[in-house]
């Protein structure tokens, strides 16, 4: 027998979701449960995949099966395609494995043609209904199958209404609708050049192809990228005999949720319209009634519906989102699925289902999308105000939340206004470490350049500040006091709003509402922790961030980027002095000024982490990042250092690098200037000794991390600086302090030689930001400019800086894990690149056996939940 590509609803069940798609599997399941489902069949997702591999064709074998199943449907319903006396009419709908609401296409009333319409009008005695169905079909078919576009059809309807002097579609008569259908067909012919198809089989295959094609429409592709849905899943197509909600006043159609999708409250929630088809409820042309009103209008149908809803909830043990139609008083179920819900509702529903004895805590943990947690931890826009606003541009959703403030173009200005309590949004071409204070005081950050691991993105996520990055359409006219976007100029002080969860930018002020974490959140997170096997640490550079991360449940610091501490106003002078020093003595003098500051920082961080492990990385960025660029700053620094401005200029020039990311940074700094590593080690160890003394009950074990290692000998060289310094200090203090020395694996060579590296390193932390950058060979700051073209052309499906590329970069990680463990079986393994907070990447980390993931404080809860789900999936 040839491969089976078509299943009748009664041949499938709910477990066949991958093959039948969500909608098809649920229609099959409802059929099995004896619910009133209009009969039909499902063309599998495999048929969709074949459609693409066959060069966008439906193969003959699949075609034959579809035709045979139409025959079976005709037998089952006693109706026939194209039969004027008793015509079979069908709906054709998409349905993929993961629900993608509104992303793909639907066609209703398929099978109508002039002969059928005339006979059917006579037979039903309801010509208005028949012509209404016909004009809807022509409209949908033209739009979806032939891509003619809907707008002109809508204009024709408006003209007709005007002509007749009516305002409501329902006031158009059968004759009006008949005339409209003729106008629609003429429009079709004008656009397509051929007559509107009359053969139902031709119509059917046109519609099936259109659904397959819609799997690849731009909005579906974008939705898949946002939701990590692979393109090779494909969509199934459901062909279902029509039932009609527009047969008159005893017919109707509606949608309902078994619980409130906004709040999670139990109870039917939904709306319906009498004498209408589904699209009328969604399209908002007529105002639907609430589902309670159905109880008054038609108590019998309401009770039957309520009983079905209860049964479906009990069956699926989750909140259901259902579509139904009432045809002349008889109820039909057209769809059920687990309903989409807000983050707050998701947590409440999961807890309620546990309390109702419907699900276990394990199932509750599994049913929440970790990405939804963001919305609970960050401010959001007021829903009504957001709905009324139109975006003026869209960048990358770099750091979630909502921000509203007055435009500010410099970090100094943003900091000054922020300190006065004003709400500002910092708008920059890109941010640099120097902008840190302004970023801190800004409500939101908008940049024209930079990807998901650019400075702006990483720092904003760390702070929990909303950020939209890489909005390349922004223009900066000379003068520095305005930007342009979408043809409009925005000046300093103008109000704008950013949505860091979608990347949308609005040219108006939109009210924000604060985050609300309820008790449900805490319960779910506690359950998650019971199932989790990987630890979750945080990337934090300050005691404040560390304390925030502890509140969110971080179990240590996986990455403390020490350079971020150097940019504070009172430190930058000392670090600049250190950089421009000509002799080791000068450098040591400058470092001596930095030592107490660093030691204080580390003490604060150890205190905030209350004895949990803390990984501190030695200085990493290219030195020139610290140097002043403005002439005024240069003159001031030269004065402070007692050198001529010209001399300072020449030092700055000498530090220029053509490719700083691949230049003099990371452990290379310690190879050239060992004093830097020695000073930092001293600060780390002395701080640990001090804190351990203050808290004998804690077990302070600093983990000193050497960045950007590619060769074991360079690691050994820098490690010796660290151990010589640390051992001497510990001996001098006469204490028993343990510490670890490890490295980041962020250069491909380090991954490939991980066994050698592990002979020196007591732990590895995968720096997947740089590892991605260097494996792909494209810049983490600039890739945003061309990645869109790669998504469009389907070369990449997602941003490798946001979601770990498991095939390439992941292979290096796996290799390094294996080699590392071979050389040092008890080696500690973690990840501290941005991927450490991304659920799909976390699942990968679980699979390869990392001990922990580390991410920015606001992503800690996401990581806890994702790690629990990964552990459950890998059981
Ligand atoms: C990395 O490269 O993944 C990393 C964590 O370091 P940074 O982002 O500071 O380069
Ligand atoms: Mg790095």
Instruction: Count CB neighbours of 283 within 10 A.
Output: 10
464 is written with which tokens?
A: 């929990």
* Cα–ligand 1 centroid distance for 702 (angstroms): 19
Q: Which residues pair with 428 in a beta bridge?
A: 447
pLDDT in tens, 489-516: 999 999 999 999 889 999 999 999 887 7
First CA to last CA distance, the chain: 37
Query: Is the per-residue pLDDT at 284 higher than 60?
Result: no
Cα separation, 281 vs 286, whole angstroms: 7
| Residue from 541, 559, 774 to probe ligand 1 pocket by mutation (most atoms less than 8 Å from CB) | 559
Among all ligands shown, which has an atom nearest to the Cα of 615?
Answer: 1
Where are the alpha helices (H) located in 247-391, listed in sequence order? 278-283, 291-297, 299-316, 343-355, 361-366, 373-377, 383-388
> What is d(CA 692, CA 597) in angstroms, rounded to the nearest whole number?
19
Pocket of ligand 1 (CB under 6 A): 458, 559, 561, 620, 746, 767-770, 832-833
Per-residue pLDDT, 517: 74
pLDDT at 705: 98
CA of 773 to the centre of ligand 2 (A): 9
Q: Answer yes or no: is pLDDT of 598 > 60.
A: yes
Ligand 1: nearest atom to the Cα of 765: 5
Helix (H, G, I), strand (E, B) or coil at 327: strand
CA 828 to centroid of ligand 1, rounded, Å? 18
pTM: 0.85
Q: Which token pair is 362?
A: 């394990």
- Distance of CA 262 from the midpoint of ligand 1 (Å): 38
Atom 8, ligand 1: which residue's CA is nearest? 769
C-alpha–C-alpha distance, residues 455 and 843, integer Å = 26
Tell me the C-alpha distance between 685 and 736, whole Å: 12
Catalytic residues: 455, 832
Task: Classify burial at 25, counting beta carbons within 10 Å of its beta carbon; exposed 0-12, middle 13-18, buried 19 or more.
Answer: buried
Query: What phi and psi values does residue 653 have, to the nearest 5 degrees?
Result: -60, -40
Strand pairing report for 614-617 and 702-706? parallel
> Which residue is listed with tokens 């040839």?
2
Instruction: Give the separation between CA 505 and CA 487, rounded to whole angstroms.
Output: 14
Q: What is the pLDDT of residues 40-98, one digit of tens each?
A: 999 999 999 999 999 999 999 999 999 999 999 999 999 999 998 889 999 999 999 98
Q: Evaluate if residue 126 carries a pLDDT over 70.
A: yes
Per-residue model confidence as pLDDT tens digits over 620-671: 998 888 888 888 888 888 887 788 889 889 888 888 899 888 999 999 999 9
> Which has the minimum average pLDDT: 319-333, 517-531, 626-640, 817-831?
626-640
pLDDT tier for residue 457 given thresholds of 50, 70 and 90: confident
Give the residue-averaged pLDDT of 555-572: 87
- Ligand 1 atom with the smallest distance to the CA of 768 is 3
Q: Which atom of ligand 1 is nearest to the CA of 773?
A: 2
Neighbours of 159 (CB within 10 A): 12
Mean local confidence (pLDDT), 769-788:
92
Among the residue ranges 585-589, 683-687, 703-707, 730-734, the one predicted with the least confidence is 585-589
Which residue has tokens 């048929």? 47
Alpha helices in 824-859 (DSSP H): 839-848
Quote the CA–CA distance of 566 and 572 in Å, as a whole number.
6
Residue 476 φ then ψ, to 5°: -120, 100
Grouping H, G, I as helix, E, B as strand and the rest as coil, residue 724 is: helix
pLDDT band at 102 (very low <50, low <70, confident <90, very high): low
Span from the CA of 244 to the centroid of ligand 2 (angstroms): 60
Nearest alpha carbon, ligand 1 atom 10? 770
Q: What percent of the chain has pLDDT over 70?
A: 99
Percentage of the chain exceeding pLDDT 90: 69
pLDDT of residue 89: 94
C-alpha angle 7/10/14, rounded to 5°?
A: 85
Structure tokens at 843: 């699942």
| Residue 1's pLDDT band (cuts 50, 70, 90) | low
Give the pLDDT confidence of 343-395 residue by residue, as tens digits: 889 999 999 999 999 999 999 999 999 988 887 888 889 989 999 999 999 99
- pLDDT at position 797 is 87
Is the pLDDT reported for residue 599 higher than 60? yes
Among 444, 421, 456, CA closest to 496: 444
Q: What span, in angstroms and rounded, lies between the C-alpha atoms of 871 and 93?
A: 36
Report the C-alpha gap between 872 and 528 in whole angstroms: 10
Per the DSSP assignment, residues forming a β-bridge with 512 are 381
Task: Choose one of 620, 836, 856 to mutate for the ligand 1 pocket test, by most ligand atoms within 8 angstroms of C-beta.
Answer: 620
Across the range 191-216, mean pLDDT stands at: 93
């Amino acid at each position: 027998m040839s491969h089976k590509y078509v299943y009748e609803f009664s041949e499938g069940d709910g477990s066949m979701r991958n093959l039948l798609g969500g909608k098809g599997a649920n229609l099959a399941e409802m059929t099995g449960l004896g619910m009133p489902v209009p009969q039909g069949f499902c063309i599998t997702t495999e048929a969709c995949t074949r459609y693409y591999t066959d060069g966008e064709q439906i193969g003959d074998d699949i075609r034959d099966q579809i035709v045979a199943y139409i025959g079976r449907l005709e037998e089952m319903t006693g109706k026939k395609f194209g039969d004027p006396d008793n015509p079979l009419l069908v709906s054709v709908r998409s349905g993929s494995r993961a629900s993608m609401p509104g992303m793909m296409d639907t066609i209703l009333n398929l099978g109508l043609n002039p002969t059928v319409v005339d006979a059917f009008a006579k037979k039903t005695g309801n010509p208005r209904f028949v012509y209404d169905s016909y004009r809807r079909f022509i409209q949908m078919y033209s739009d979806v199958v032939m891509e003619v576009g809907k707008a002109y059809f809508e204009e024709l309807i408006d003209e007709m209404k005007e002509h007749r002097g009516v305002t409501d579609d329902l006031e158009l008569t059968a004759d009006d609708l008949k005339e409209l259908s003729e106008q629609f067909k003429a429009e079709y012919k004008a656009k397509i050049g051929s007559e509107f198809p009359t053969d139902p089989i031709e119509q059917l295959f046109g519609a099936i192809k259109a659904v397959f094609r819609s799997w690849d429409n731009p909005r579906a592709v974008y939705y898949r990228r946002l939701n990590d849905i692979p393109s090779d899943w494909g969509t199934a197509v459901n062909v279902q005999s029509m039932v009609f909600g527009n047969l008159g006043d005893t017919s109707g159609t509606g949608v309902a949720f078994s619980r409130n999708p906004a709040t999670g409250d139990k109870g039917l929630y939904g709306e319906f319209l009498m004498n209408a088809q589904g699209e009328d409820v969604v399209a908002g042309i007529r105002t639907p009634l609430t589902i309670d009103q159905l109880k008054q209008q038609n108590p019998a149908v309401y009770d039957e519906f309520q009983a079905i809803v209860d049964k479906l909830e009990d069956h699926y043990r989750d909140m259901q989102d259902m579509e139904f139609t009432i045809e002349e008083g008889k109820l039909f179920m057209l769809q059920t699925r687990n309903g989409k819900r807000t983050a707050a509702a998701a947590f409440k529903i999961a807890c309620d289902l546990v309390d109702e004895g419907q699900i276990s805590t394990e199932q509750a943990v599994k049913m929440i999308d970790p990405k939804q947690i963001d919305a609970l931890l960050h401010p959001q826009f007021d829903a009504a105000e957001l709905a009324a606003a139109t975006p003026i541009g869209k960048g990358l959703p770099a750091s979630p939340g909502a921000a509203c403030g007055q435009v500010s173009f410099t970090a100094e200005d943003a900091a000054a206004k922020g300190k006065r309590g004003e709400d500002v949004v910092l708008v920059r071409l890109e941010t640099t470490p120097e902008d840190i204070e302004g970023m801190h005081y800004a409500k939101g950050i908008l940049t024209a350049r930079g990807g998901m691991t650019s400075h702006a993105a990483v720092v904003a996520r760390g702070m929990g500040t909303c950020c939209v990055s890489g909005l390349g359409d922004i223009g900066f006219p000379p003068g520095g006091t305005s930007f342009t976007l979408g043809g409009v100029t925005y000046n300093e002080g103008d109000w704008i709003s950013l949505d860091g969860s979608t990347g949308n930018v609005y040219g108006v002020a939109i009210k924000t509402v604060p985050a609300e974490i309820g008790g449900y959140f805490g319960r779910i997170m506690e359950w998650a922790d019971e199932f989790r096997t990987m630890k979750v640490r945080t990337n934090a550079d300050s005691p404040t961030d560390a304390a925030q991360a502890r509140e969110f449940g971080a179990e240590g610091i996986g990455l403390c980027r020490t350079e971020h501490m150097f940019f504070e106003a009172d430190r930058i002078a000392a670090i600049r002095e250190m950089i421009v020093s000509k002799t080791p003595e000068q450098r040591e003098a400058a470092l001596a000024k930095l030592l107490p500051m660093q030691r204080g920082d580390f003490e604060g961080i150890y205190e905030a982490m209350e004895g949990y492990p803390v990984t501190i990385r030695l200085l990493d960025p290219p030195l020139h990042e610290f140097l002043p660029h403005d002439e005024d700053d240069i003159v001031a620094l030269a004065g402070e250092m007692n050198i001529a401005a010209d001399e300072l200029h020449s030092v700055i020039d000498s530090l220029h690098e053509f490719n700083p990311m691949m230049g003099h940074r990371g452990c290379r700094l310690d190879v050239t200037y060992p004093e830097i590593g020695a000073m930092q080690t001293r600060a780390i160890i002395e701080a640990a000794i001090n804190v351990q003394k203050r808290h004998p009950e804690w077990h302070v074990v600093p983990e000193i991390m050497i960045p950007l290692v590619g060769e074991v000998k360079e690691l050994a060289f820098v490690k010796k600086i660290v151990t010589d310094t640390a051992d001497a200090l510990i001996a001098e203090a006469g204490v028993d302090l343990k510490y670890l020395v490890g490295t980041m694996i962020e250069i491909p060579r380090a991954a490939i030689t991980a066994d050698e590296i592990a002979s020196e390193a007591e732990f590895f932390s995968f720096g997947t930001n740089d590892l991605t950058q260097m494996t792909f060979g494209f810049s983490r700051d600039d890739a945003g400019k061309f990645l869109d073209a790669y998504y469009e052309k389907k070369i990449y499906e997602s941003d490798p800086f946001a979601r770990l590329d498991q095939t390439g970069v992941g292979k290096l990680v796996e290799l390094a894990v294996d080699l590392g463990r071979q050389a040092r079986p008890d080696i500690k393994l973690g990840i501290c690149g941005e991927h450490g907070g991304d659920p799909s990447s976390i699942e990968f980390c679980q699979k390869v056996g990392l001990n922990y993931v580390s991410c920015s404080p606001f992503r800690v809860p996401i990581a806890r939940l994702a790690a629990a789900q990964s552990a459950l999936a890998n059981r």
